[in-house]
Amino acid sequence: MNTIYILFLFTFLSTTSYASVNDLCVADFKGPSTPSGYHCMPLANLTSDDFVFHGLVAGNTTNSFNAALTSAFVTDFPALNGLGVSAARLDIAKGGSIPMHTHPGATELLMMVKGKITAGFMTPTALYSKTVKPGDIMVFPQGMLHFQVNSGVGTANAFLAFSSENPGAQLLDLLLFANGLDSDIVAKTTFLDLAQVKKLKARFNGKTS
């Protein structure tokens, strides 16, 4: 009886000898991604460097948005795997903006460092918008359509925190105008003029017929 019990216990312990995966699970990108995250790197392979990310430097804002988002999501920083947090850096040149978008998987915190940003989000019944300055923090609840516009006289810079290691992003303009739908259908379903739809499709590399 005791022997059976001990054998059982031994089996249990040996199948849970990876209990430390509960503490941390640095992503091993050589393994497949699963709905619950990536496979874990063996603990023996990890060093302190795995838990530090050096890449949140200013991005190149010479693009059609005059803005750059530099990300530290799980795919950039494997140590975030399974931890439910990530970060990014936002640089918006004068006149630039981050267009209307949502993060289906995360609430976003914006921490202002430099300049002035007018940001906001909307629900079906309300708009919440504010111009924020260095030291201010603004929150965008998960899934809400939101935007950030540089409303200052110089470059604006903020850091972002997300409540997911993989927040995802859906940019409204890209969804609407970078697709293969006929312009006519896009015009009918957005109530925009056909000419304007064609202009936006050209700008965002959508099918222009």
Given 25, 26, 27, 41, the residue binding ligand NAG (CB under 6 A): 41
Q: Are 173 and 99 in contact (CB under 8 A)?
A: yes
Q: Cα-flanking dihedrals φ and ψ of residue 177, to 5°? A: -120, -5
Question: What CA–CA distance (Å, rounded) separates 160 from 69?
Answer: 9
Q: Is 28 among the residues that bind ligand NAG (CB under 6 A)? A: yes
Q: Are 132 and 114 in contact (CB under 8 A)?
A: no
- 146 assigned ligand-binding residue: yes
- Give me the least distance between CB of 113 and ligand NAG, in Å please: 20
When the beta carbons of 2 and 62 are compared against ligand NAG, the nearer one is 62
| DSSP secondary structure code for residue 3 in this structure | H
- The pattern of x and - marking residues 50 through 79 that bind ligand NAG according to CB under 6 A reads ----------x-x-----------------
Which residue type occupies 115?
G
Given 35, 42, 124, 180, the residue binding ligand NAG (CB under 6 A): 42
Total of residues contacting ligand NAG (CB under 6 A): 7
Tokens of 12: 């249990």
Q: Which residues of this chain interact with ligand NAG, rule CB under 6 A?
A: 28, 30, 41-42, 45, 60, 62
